[in-house]
Structure 1
Amino acid sequence: MQKTRFFLKGSVAENVWLNRQAQRGYQLTAVKGMTYHFKAVAHAEKVLAEYLPTKTLTAMTDVFHPLTSFTFRNGKMAVAYSPVQPAQRIVSDDNHYRLAVYRRAREVALNWMNGWVVGIWLLMCVEVVATTRLTATPMLTNLLLGSFGVGAGLIVAAIVICGVAAARFHGQVRRLIRVTGEDKEAWKPTMHVIFKHQKQVPDTDVWADLGLWQLTMQNQKGEYYYNLQTYLSEGEIRNAIAKIIKQKDFSVMSWLGLYPL
Protein backbone atom coordinates (compact mmCIF):
# COMPACT_ATOMS: atom_id res chain seq x y z
CA MET A 1 0.00 0.00 0.00
CA GLN A 2 1.18 3.50 -0.80
CA LYS A 3 0.19 6.84 0.65
CA THR A 4 1.28 10.29 -0.47
CA ARG A 5 1.84 12.94 2.17
CA PHE A 6 3.86 16.15 2.31
CA PHE A 7 5.96 16.06 5.48
CA LEU A 8 9.39 17.29 6.42
CA LYS A 9 11.23 14.00 6.68
CA GLY A 10 11.96 13.12 10.29
CA SER A 11 9.67 15.80 11.70
CA VAL A 12 7.45 15.28 14.73
CA ALA A 13 4.32 15.55 12.58
CA GLU A 14 5.58 12.82 10.27
CA ASN A 15 6.50 10.57 13.18
CA VAL A 16 3.04 10.95 14.72
CA TRP A 17 1.39 10.09 11.40
CA LEU A 18 3.60 7.04 10.86
CA ASN A 19 2.79 5.70 14.32
CA ARG A 20 -0.90 6.27 13.65
CA GLN A 21 -0.53 4.05 10.58
CA ALA A 22 1.24 1.45 12.73
CA GLN A 23 -1.72 1.41 15.12
CA ARG A 24 -3.90 0.59 12.13
CA GLY A 25 -1.68 -2.38 11.25
CA TYR A 26 0.43 -0.83 8.50
CA GLN A 27 4.20 -1.24 8.82
CA LEU A 28 6.44 1.27 7.07
CA THR A 29 8.68 -0.34 4.44
CA ALA A 30 10.02 2.51 2.29
CA VAL A 31 10.01 6.28 1.84
CA LYS A 32 10.43 7.66 -1.67
CA GLY A 33 9.91 11.39 -2.02
CA MET A 34 6.39 12.17 -0.82
CA THR A 35 5.29 8.54 -1.15
CA TYR A 36 5.26 6.21 1.85
CA HIS A 37 5.10 2.46 1.33
CA PHE A 38 3.40 0.18 3.88
CA LYS A 39 2.51 -3.45 4.27
CA ALA A 40 -0.33 -4.86 6.33
CA VAL A 41 0.88 -6.94 9.30
CA ALA A 42 -0.70 -8.41 12.39
CA HIS A 43 1.38 -6.35 14.82
CA ALA A 44 3.02 -3.26 13.34
CA GLU A 45 5.85 -1.76 15.36
CA LYS A 46 6.01 1.91 16.21
CA VAL A 47 8.54 4.01 14.33
CA LEU A 48 11.24 6.37 15.59
CA ALA A 49 12.73 8.82 13.08
CA GLU A 50 16.28 9.99 13.78
CA TYR A 51 18.60 12.31 11.87
CA LEU A 52 22.19 11.26 11.26
CA PRO A 53 24.92 11.93 8.69
CA THR A 54 24.79 9.74 5.61
CA LYS A 55 28.35 8.58 6.27
CA THR A 56 27.34 7.35 9.72
CA LEU A 57 24.32 5.50 8.33
CA THR A 58 26.52 3.81 5.71
CA ALA A 59 29.20 2.89 8.24
CA MET A 60 26.62 1.29 10.56
CA THR A 61 25.03 -0.87 7.86
CA ASP A 62 26.28 -4.12 9.40
CA VAL A 63 24.91 -3.43 12.89
CA PHE A 64 22.06 -0.97 12.34
CA HIS A 65 19.02 -2.21 10.45
CA PRO A 66 16.23 0.39 10.34
CA LEU A 67 12.91 -0.27 8.64
CA THR A 68 13.97 2.15 5.92
CA SER A 69 15.87 5.39 5.47
CA PHE A 70 15.64 8.59 3.47
CA THR A 71 18.58 10.65 2.20
CA PHE A 72 18.17 14.37 1.56
CA ARG A 73 19.17 15.86 -1.77
CA ASN A 74 22.45 17.28 -0.50
CA GLY A 75 23.54 13.73 0.31
CA LYS A 76 24.97 14.77 3.68
CA MET A 77 22.03 14.06 5.98
CA ALA A 78 19.65 11.13 6.25
CA VAL A 79 16.68 9.99 8.30
CA ALA A 80 16.59 6.48 9.72
CA TYR A 81 13.18 5.01 10.55
CA SER A 82 13.72 2.43 13.29
CA PRO A 83 11.24 0.05 14.93
CA VAL A 84 10.48 0.64 18.60
CA GLN A 85 9.33 -2.08 20.97
CA PRO A 86 6.50 -1.21 23.42
CA ALA A 87 8.73 -1.58 26.49
CA GLN A 88 11.82 -0.08 24.88
CA ARG A 89 13.19 3.14 26.36
CA ILE A 90 13.69 5.79 23.69
CA VAL A 91 16.74 8.03 23.98
CA SER A 92 17.30 10.37 21.04
CA ASP A 93 20.30 12.67 20.75
CA ASP A 94 19.97 14.04 17.23
CA ASN A 95 19.08 17.61 18.19
CA HIS A 96 22.19 19.05 16.52
CA TYR A 97 21.33 17.38 13.22
CA ARG A 98 17.65 18.19 13.65
CA LEU A 99 18.51 21.88 14.09
CA ALA A 100 20.45 21.92 10.80
CA VAL A 101 17.54 20.27 8.97
CA TYR A 102 14.94 22.67 10.35
CA ARG A 103 17.10 25.67 9.49
CA ARG A 104 17.38 24.45 5.93
CA ALA A 105 13.64 23.74 5.77
CA ARG A 106 12.92 27.30 6.93
CA GLU A 107 15.16 28.68 4.18
CA VAL A 108 13.46 26.54 1.54
CA ALA A 109 9.99 27.66 2.66
CA LEU A 110 11.00 31.33 2.45
CA ASN A 111 12.68 30.82 -0.93
CA TRP A 112 9.54 29.17 -2.29
CA MET A 113 7.44 32.06 -1.03
CA ASN A 114 9.73 34.65 -2.61
CA GLY A 115 9.92 32.78 -5.91
CA TRP A 116 6.17 32.26 -6.02
CA VAL A 117 5.38 35.92 -5.33
CA VAL A 118 8.00 37.32 -7.71
CA GLY A 119 7.02 34.88 -10.48
CA ILE A 120 3.33 35.80 -10.33
CA TRP A 121 4.15 39.50 -10.15
CA LEU A 122 6.32 39.22 -13.28
CA LEU A 123 3.53 37.41 -15.13
CA MET A 124 1.13 40.19 -14.19
CA CYS A 125 3.62 42.79 -15.49
CA VAL A 126 3.98 40.91 -18.78
CA GLU A 127 0.21 40.80 -19.08
CA VAL A 128 -0.05 44.56 -18.59
CA VAL A 129 2.61 45.22 -21.23
CA ALA A 130 0.91 42.86 -23.68
CA THR A 131 -2.53 44.43 -23.24
CA THR A 132 -1.22 47.94 -23.94
CA ARG A 133 -0.76 46.88 -27.57
CA LEU A 134 -4.36 45.75 -27.91
CA THR A 135 -7.51 47.76 -28.41
CA ALA A 136 -9.29 48.30 -25.14
CA THR A 137 -12.69 46.62 -24.94
CA PRO A 138 -14.98 45.84 -22.00
CA MET A 139 -14.21 42.12 -22.36
CA LEU A 140 -10.46 42.72 -22.36
CA THR A 141 -10.77 44.96 -19.32
CA ASN A 142 -12.77 42.32 -17.45
CA LEU A 143 -10.26 39.63 -18.37
CA LEU A 144 -7.40 41.82 -17.19
CA LEU A 145 -9.07 42.64 -13.89
CA GLY A 146 -10.01 38.99 -13.40
CA SER A 147 -6.45 37.83 -14.01
CA PHE A 148 -5.19 40.44 -11.55
CA GLY A 149 -7.63 39.11 -8.97
CA VAL A 150 -6.44 35.55 -9.54
CA GLY A 151 -2.81 36.67 -9.36
CA ALA A 152 -3.41 38.56 -6.13
CA GLY A 153 -5.14 35.51 -4.69
CA LEU A 154 -2.23 33.27 -5.63
CA ILE A 155 0.22 35.71 -4.04
CA VAL A 156 -1.80 35.73 -0.82
CA ALA A 157 -1.97 31.93 -0.89
CA ALA A 158 1.81 31.72 -1.34
CA ILE A 159 2.42 34.05 1.58
CA VAL A 160 0.01 32.17 3.83
CA ILE A 161 1.09 28.62 2.94
CA CYS A 162 4.84 29.20 2.84
CA GLY A 163 4.75 31.76 5.65
CA VAL A 164 2.95 29.37 7.99
CA ALA A 165 5.40 26.59 7.14
CA ALA A 166 8.39 28.89 7.70
CA ALA A 167 6.92 30.06 11.02
CA ARG A 168 6.50 26.47 12.21
CA PHE A 169 10.05 25.59 11.24
CA HIS A 170 11.29 28.76 12.92
CA GLY A 171 9.54 27.76 16.13
CA GLN A 172 11.36 24.43 16.08
CA VAL A 173 14.65 26.21 15.34
CA ARG A 174 14.22 28.46 18.37
CA ARG A 175 13.39 25.48 20.58
CA LEU A 176 16.39 23.50 19.36
CA ILE A 177 18.71 26.49 19.82
CA ARG A 178 17.68 26.62 23.48
CA VAL A 179 18.28 22.88 23.82
CA THR A 180 21.62 22.69 22.00
CA GLY A 181 23.01 26.17 22.63
CA GLU A 182 24.02 26.44 18.96
CA ASP A 183 23.20 30.07 18.25
CA LYS A 184 26.05 31.03 15.90
CA GLU A 185 23.74 31.31 12.88
CA ALA A 186 20.84 32.76 14.84
CA TRP A 187 19.82 36.40 14.63
CA LYS A 188 20.64 38.43 17.73
CA PRO A 189 19.94 42.04 18.67
CA THR A 190 22.97 44.27 18.13
CA MET A 191 23.95 46.45 21.06
CA HIS A 192 26.38 49.35 20.67
CA VAL A 193 29.19 49.76 23.18
CA ILE A 194 31.39 52.86 23.18
CA PHE A 195 34.67 52.83 25.08
CA LYS A 196 36.12 56.25 25.99
CA HIS A 197 39.50 57.58 27.13
CA GLN A 198 41.29 54.39 26.03
CA LYS A 199 45.02 54.41 25.30
CA GLN A 200 44.76 51.23 23.22
CA VAL A 201 42.17 48.95 21.70
CA PRO A 202 40.06 47.35 24.47
CA ASP A 203 40.57 43.62 24.91
CA THR A 204 37.05 42.36 24.26
CA ASP A 205 38.16 38.74 24.62
CA VAL A 206 37.61 39.07 28.37
CA TRP A 207 33.90 39.61 27.61
CA ALA A 208 33.63 36.94 24.92
CA ASP A 209 30.84 35.24 26.85
CA LEU A 210 28.65 38.33 26.40
CA GLY A 211 28.32 37.77 22.66
CA LEU A 212 30.01 38.53 19.35
CA TRP A 213 32.10 41.72 19.33
CA GLN A 214 32.95 43.73 16.22
CA LEU A 215 34.95 46.96 16.10
CA THR A 216 33.19 49.42 13.79
CA MET A 217 34.96 52.75 14.33
CA GLN A 218 37.60 54.55 16.37
CA ASN A 219 39.02 58.08 16.61
CA GLN A 220 42.04 59.91 17.96
CA LYS A 221 40.24 60.77 21.20
CA GLY A 222 40.59 57.19 22.37
CA GLU A 223 36.99 56.28 21.60
CA TYR A 224 36.21 52.84 20.23
CA TYR A 225 32.79 51.92 18.87
CA TYR A 226 31.77 48.26 18.98
CA ASN A 227 28.75 46.28 17.84
CA LEU A 228 27.84 43.50 20.23
CA GLN A 229 25.45 40.78 19.05
CA THR A 230 23.85 39.38 22.17
CA TYR A 231 20.61 38.42 23.88
CA LEU A 232 21.66 40.21 27.08
CA SER A 233 20.08 43.44 28.28
CA GLU A 234 21.84 46.78 28.60
CA GLY A 235 22.05 46.41 32.36
CA GLU A 236 23.65 42.97 32.16
CA ILE A 237 26.23 44.21 29.65
CA ARG A 238 26.98 47.30 31.71
CA ASN A 239 27.44 45.32 34.92
CA ALA A 240 29.83 42.87 33.24
CA ILE A 241 32.01 45.58 31.70
CA ALA A 242 32.00 47.68 34.90
CA LYS A 243 33.89 44.92 36.70
CA ILE A 244 36.98 45.82 34.64
CA ILE A 245 36.43 49.35 33.30
CA LYS A 246 35.02 52.36 35.14
CA GLN A 247 31.48 53.26 34.14
CA LYS A 248 32.53 56.76 33.10
CA ASP A 249 34.82 55.23 30.46
CA PHE A 250 32.14 53.41 28.49
CA SER A 251 28.48 53.60 27.53
CA VAL A 252 25.98 51.10 26.17
CA MET A 253 23.38 51.93 23.55
CA SER A 254 20.25 49.87 23.04
CA TRP A 255 19.87 47.53 20.07
CA LEU A 256 17.46 50.10 18.60
CA GLY A 257 20.36 52.53 18.38
CA LEU A 258 19.03 54.79 21.13
CA TYR A 259 20.61 55.74 24.41
CA PRO A 260 18.54 54.46 27.34
CA LEU A 261 16.45 57.17 28.96
Structure 2
Amino acid sequence: MELFGYFGALCIGLILGLTGGGGSILTVPILVYVMLIDPIIATAYSLFIVGTTSAFGAVQNYRKGLVDIKNGFLFAIPSFVAVYITRRFLVPLIPDTILEQPFLLTKSTFLMVFFAVIMVLAAISMLKKKKEVVETAGNIAISTLLFQTFTIGIIIGLVGAGGGFLIIPSLVLFAKLPMKKAVGTSLFIIAMNSLIGFLGDVQTITIDWKFLSSFTGLSIIGIFIGIYLNKYVNESQLKKGFAYFVLFMATFILVKELAM
Protein backbone atom coordinates (compact mmCIF):
# COMPACT_ATOMS: atom_id res chain seq x y z
CA MET A 1 0.00 0.00 0.00
CA GLU A 2 2.80 2.40 0.91
CA LEU A 3 4.60 1.59 -2.35
CA PHE A 4 1.44 2.51 -4.27
CA GLY A 5 1.37 5.82 -2.39
CA TYR A 6 4.92 6.67 -3.46
CA PHE A 7 4.02 5.75 -7.04
CA GLY A 8 1.14 8.20 -6.65
CA ALA A 9 3.67 10.90 -5.70
CA LEU A 10 5.43 10.32 -9.00
CA CYS A 11 2.08 10.57 -10.82
CA ILE A 12 1.27 13.90 -9.13
CA GLY A 13 4.39 15.47 -10.59
CA LEU A 14 3.91 13.68 -13.91
CA ILE A 15 0.42 15.15 -14.39
CA LEU A 16 1.58 18.63 -13.34
CA GLY A 17 4.38 18.41 -15.91
CA LEU A 18 2.13 17.11 -18.68
CA THR A 19 -0.82 19.48 -18.21
CA GLY A 20 0.53 22.47 -16.26
CA GLY A 21 -1.92 21.80 -13.43
CA GLY A 22 -4.41 19.32 -12.02
CA GLY A 23 -1.97 16.86 -10.45
CA SER A 24 -2.20 18.57 -7.09
CA ILE A 25 -5.85 17.54 -6.82
CA LEU A 26 -4.65 13.95 -6.23
CA THR A 27 -2.29 14.78 -3.38
CA VAL A 28 -4.73 14.85 -0.45
CA PRO A 29 -6.66 11.67 -1.49
CA ILE A 30 -3.38 9.76 -1.88
CA LEU A 31 -2.10 10.95 1.51
CA VAL A 32 -5.40 10.23 3.28
CA TYR A 33 -6.62 7.00 1.68
CA VAL A 34 -3.35 5.37 0.62
CA MET A 35 -0.79 6.64 3.13
CA LEU A 36 -3.45 6.78 5.91
CA ILE A 37 -2.49 10.27 7.08
CA ASP A 38 -4.96 12.38 9.07
CA PRO A 39 -6.81 14.80 6.71
CA ILE A 40 -5.72 17.91 8.64
CA ILE A 41 -2.05 16.91 8.41
CA ALA A 42 -2.57 15.73 4.81
CA THR A 43 -3.77 19.17 3.69
CA ALA A 44 -0.67 20.70 5.32
CA TYR A 45 1.67 18.20 3.63
CA SER A 46 -0.13 18.78 0.34
CA LEU A 47 0.68 22.50 0.49
CA PHE A 48 4.39 21.70 0.79
CA ILE A 49 4.33 19.02 -1.92
CA VAL A 50 2.25 21.13 -4.33
CA GLY A 51 4.23 24.30 -3.59
CA THR A 52 7.65 22.75 -4.05
CA THR A 53 6.69 20.80 -7.17
CA SER A 54 4.98 23.87 -8.69
CA ALA A 55 8.11 25.93 -7.98
CA PHE A 56 10.19 23.56 -10.13
CA GLY A 57 7.53 23.74 -12.84
CA ALA A 58 7.50 27.54 -12.63
CA VAL A 59 11.28 27.66 -13.07
CA GLN A 60 11.01 25.55 -16.22
CA ASN A 61 8.27 27.83 -17.59
CA TYR A 62 10.26 30.94 -16.64
CA ARG A 63 13.17 29.71 -18.76
CA LYS A 64 10.74 29.51 -21.68
CA GLY A 65 9.51 33.08 -21.02
CA LEU A 66 6.11 31.86 -19.83
CA VAL A 67 6.02 33.45 -16.35
CA ASP A 68 4.90 37.04 -15.76
CA ILE A 69 6.65 37.87 -12.47
CA LYS A 70 5.01 41.30 -12.01
CA ASN A 71 1.45 40.05 -12.39
CA GLY A 72 2.37 36.92 -10.47
CA PHE A 73 3.20 38.96 -7.37
CA LEU A 74 0.21 41.27 -7.92
CA PHE A 75 -2.23 38.37 -7.93
CA ALA A 76 -0.40 36.33 -5.29
CA ILE A 77 -0.33 38.88 -2.45
CA PRO A 78 -4.07 38.78 -1.51
CA SER A 79 -4.24 35.01 -1.92
CA PHE A 80 -1.09 34.05 0.01
CA VAL A 81 -2.14 36.33 2.87
CA ALA A 82 -5.44 34.43 2.95
CA VAL A 83 -3.68 31.04 2.76
CA TYR A 84 -1.42 31.88 5.70
CA ILE A 85 -4.31 33.20 7.83
CA THR A 86 -6.39 30.12 6.99
CA ARG A 87 -3.66 27.61 7.90
CA ARG A 88 -2.36 29.52 10.93
CA PHE A 89 -5.65 30.56 12.51
CA LEU A 90 -8.82 29.34 10.73
CA VAL A 91 -8.09 25.59 10.42
CA PRO A 92 -7.02 25.23 14.10
CA LEU A 93 -10.26 27.03 15.11
CA ILE A 94 -12.53 24.50 13.37
CA PRO A 95 -13.89 22.24 16.15
CA ASP A 96 -13.18 18.50 15.96
CA THR A 97 -16.95 17.90 16.02
CA ILE A 98 -18.86 20.46 13.94
CA LEU A 99 -22.32 18.85 14.18
CA GLU A 100 -23.82 16.10 16.32
CA GLN A 101 -27.44 16.43 15.22
CA PRO A 102 -29.16 15.62 12.89
CA PHE A 103 -25.96 13.83 11.80
CA LEU A 104 -22.37 13.63 13.00
CA LEU A 105 -20.01 15.93 11.09
CA THR A 106 -16.37 15.90 12.16
CA LYS A 107 -13.64 18.31 11.15
CA SER A 108 -11.92 15.64 9.05
CA THR A 109 -15.14 14.71 7.23
CA PHE A 110 -15.97 18.36 6.57
CA LEU A 111 -12.53 19.01 5.02
CA MET A 112 -12.70 15.90 2.81
CA VAL A 113 -16.26 16.64 1.61
CA PHE A 114 -15.31 20.27 0.90
CA PHE A 115 -12.25 18.97 -0.96
CA ALA A 116 -14.46 16.66 -3.06
CA VAL A 117 -16.65 19.64 -4.04
CA ILE A 118 -13.53 21.55 -5.14
CA MET A 119 -12.46 18.48 -7.16
CA VAL A 120 -15.80 18.54 -9.00
CA LEU A 121 -15.35 22.24 -9.81
CA ALA A 122 -11.78 21.55 -10.99
CA ALA A 123 -12.96 18.73 -13.26
CA ILE A 124 -15.68 20.93 -14.77
CA SER A 125 -13.07 23.65 -15.39
CA MET A 126 -10.74 21.17 -17.12
CA LEU A 127 -13.58 19.94 -19.34
CA LYS A 128 -14.35 23.48 -20.51
CA LYS A 129 -12.73 24.74 -23.67
CA LYS A 130 -10.28 27.63 -23.30
CA LYS A 131 -12.81 30.06 -24.82
CA GLU A 132 -15.41 29.04 -22.25
CA VAL A 133 -12.94 29.60 -19.42
CA VAL A 134 -12.25 33.15 -20.62
CA GLU A 135 -15.98 33.87 -21.06
CA THR A 136 -16.65 32.62 -17.53
CA ALA A 137 -13.96 34.93 -16.19
CA GLY A 138 -15.41 37.76 -18.25
CA ASN A 139 -18.51 37.79 -16.08
CA ILE A 140 -16.44 38.91 -13.07
CA ALA A 141 -16.32 42.64 -12.28
CA ILE A 142 -12.87 44.16 -11.81
CA SER A 143 -13.95 45.51 -8.40
CA THR A 144 -14.23 41.93 -7.13
CA LEU A 145 -10.66 40.95 -8.05
CA LEU A 146 -9.13 41.40 -4.57
CA PHE A 147 -12.05 39.63 -2.92
CA GLN A 148 -11.82 36.79 -5.45
CA THR A 149 -8.09 36.22 -5.00
CA PHE A 150 -8.47 36.40 -1.21
CA THR A 151 -11.26 33.80 -1.44
CA ILE A 152 -9.05 31.59 -3.63
CA GLY A 153 -6.44 31.76 -0.88
CA ILE A 154 -8.95 30.58 1.74
CA ILE A 155 -9.95 27.63 -0.47
CA ILE A 156 -6.31 26.69 -1.09
CA GLY A 157 -5.65 26.91 2.64
CA LEU A 158 -8.59 24.66 3.53
CA VAL A 159 -8.08 21.88 0.97
CA GLY A 160 -4.32 22.00 0.35
CA ALA A 161 -4.75 22.04 -3.46
CA GLY A 162 -3.08 24.41 -5.87
CA GLY A 163 -6.16 26.28 -7.11
CA GLY A 164 -4.83 26.78 -10.63
CA PHE A 165 -8.28 26.27 -12.12
CA LEU A 166 -9.41 29.35 -10.16
CA ILE A 167 -6.30 31.47 -10.79
CA ILE A 168 -5.86 30.98 -14.56
CA PRO A 169 -9.17 32.63 -15.65
CA SER A 170 -8.31 35.71 -13.57
CA LEU A 171 -4.87 35.97 -15.18
CA VAL A 172 -6.36 35.67 -18.67
CA LEU A 173 -9.03 38.31 -18.08
CA PHE A 174 -7.45 40.89 -15.78
CA ALA A 175 -3.76 40.56 -16.69
CA LYS A 176 -4.55 39.87 -20.38
CA LEU A 177 -2.08 36.98 -20.43
CA PRO A 178 -2.08 34.34 -23.20
CA MET A 179 -3.25 30.94 -21.95
CA LYS A 180 0.23 29.34 -21.91
CA LYS A 181 1.71 32.28 -20.00
CA ALA A 182 -1.26 32.21 -17.61
CA VAL A 183 -0.53 28.54 -16.85
CA GLY A 184 3.17 29.24 -16.19
CA THR A 185 2.38 32.28 -14.03
CA SER A 186 -0.24 30.26 -12.19
CA LEU A 187 2.41 27.72 -11.15
CA PHE A 188 4.51 30.62 -9.81
CA ILE A 189 1.51 31.89 -7.77
CA ILE A 190 0.63 28.38 -6.57
CA ALA A 191 4.20 27.88 -5.35
CA MET A 192 4.10 31.10 -3.32
CA ASN A 193 0.60 30.48 -1.96
CA SER A 194 1.27 26.89 -0.94
CA LEU A 195 4.69 27.36 0.65
CA ILE A 196 3.65 30.47 2.60
CA GLY A 197 0.50 28.67 3.73
CA PHE A 198 2.65 25.76 4.87
CA LEU A 199 4.57 28.14 7.14
CA GLY A 200 1.34 28.54 9.11
CA ASP A 201 1.23 24.77 9.64
CA VAL A 202 4.84 24.52 10.79
CA GLN A 203 3.78 26.54 13.84
CA THR A 204 0.79 24.35 14.71
CA ILE A 205 1.59 20.71 13.79
CA THR A 206 4.53 18.31 13.98
CA ILE A 207 6.02 17.66 10.53
CA ASP A 208 7.49 14.29 9.48
CA TRP A 209 10.24 15.80 7.36
CA LYS A 210 11.72 12.45 6.33
CA PHE A 211 8.46 11.27 4.79
CA LEU A 212 7.60 14.67 3.34
CA SER A 213 11.01 15.07 1.69
CA SER A 214 10.94 11.64 0.05
CA PHE A 215 7.34 12.04 -1.17
CA THR A 216 8.04 15.52 -2.55
CA GLY A 217 11.27 14.33 -4.17
CA LEU A 218 9.38 11.73 -6.20
CA SER A 219 6.80 14.35 -7.22
CA ILE A 220 9.60 16.63 -8.44
CA ILE A 221 11.07 13.77 -10.50
CA GLY A 222 7.59 13.25 -11.93
CA ILE A 223 7.22 16.87 -13.05
CA PHE A 224 10.50 16.73 -14.98
CA ILE A 225 9.37 13.50 -16.67
CA GLY A 226 6.02 15.12 -17.45
CA ILE A 227 7.63 18.23 -18.96
CA TYR A 228 9.81 15.99 -21.15
CA LEU A 229 6.85 13.84 -22.29
CA ASN A 230 4.59 16.87 -22.87
CA LYS A 231 5.60 17.25 -26.52
CA TYR A 232 4.67 13.62 -27.27
CA VAL A 233 1.10 13.58 -25.94
CA ASN A 234 -2.23 15.15 -26.90
CA GLU A 235 -2.71 17.65 -24.06
CA SER A 236 -6.43 18.24 -24.61
CA GLN A 237 -7.26 14.52 -24.57
CA LEU A 238 -5.06 14.01 -21.52
CA LYS A 239 -6.81 16.80 -19.61
CA LYS A 240 -10.21 15.46 -20.59
CA GLY A 241 -9.38 11.95 -19.40
CA PHE A 242 -7.87 13.29 -16.18
CA ALA A 243 -10.95 15.44 -15.55
CA TYR A 244 -13.19 12.37 -15.66
CA PHE A 245 -10.78 10.59 -13.32
CA VAL A 246 -11.02 13.54 -10.89
CA LEU A 247 -14.84 13.30 -11.03
CA PHE A 248 -14.57 9.60 -10.20
CA MET A 249 -12.24 10.35 -7.26
CA ALA A 250 -14.58 13.08 -5.98
CA THR A 251 -17.51 10.64 -6.08
CA PHE A 252 -15.41 8.04 -4.24
CA ILE A 253 -14.54 10.55 -1.48
CA LEU A 254 -18.16 11.68 -1.08
CA VAL A 255 -19.44 8.10 -0.86
CA LYS A 256 -16.69 7.06 1.57
CA GLU A 257 -17.08 10.07 3.85
CA LEU A 258 -20.89 10.44 3.82
CA ALA A 259 -21.74 6.72 3.92
CA MET A 260 -19.78 6.23 7.16
> TM-score, length-normalised on structure 1?
0.26
> TM-score, length-normalised on structure 2?
0.26
Bigger CA radius of gyration: 1
Higher helix fraction (1 or 2):
2
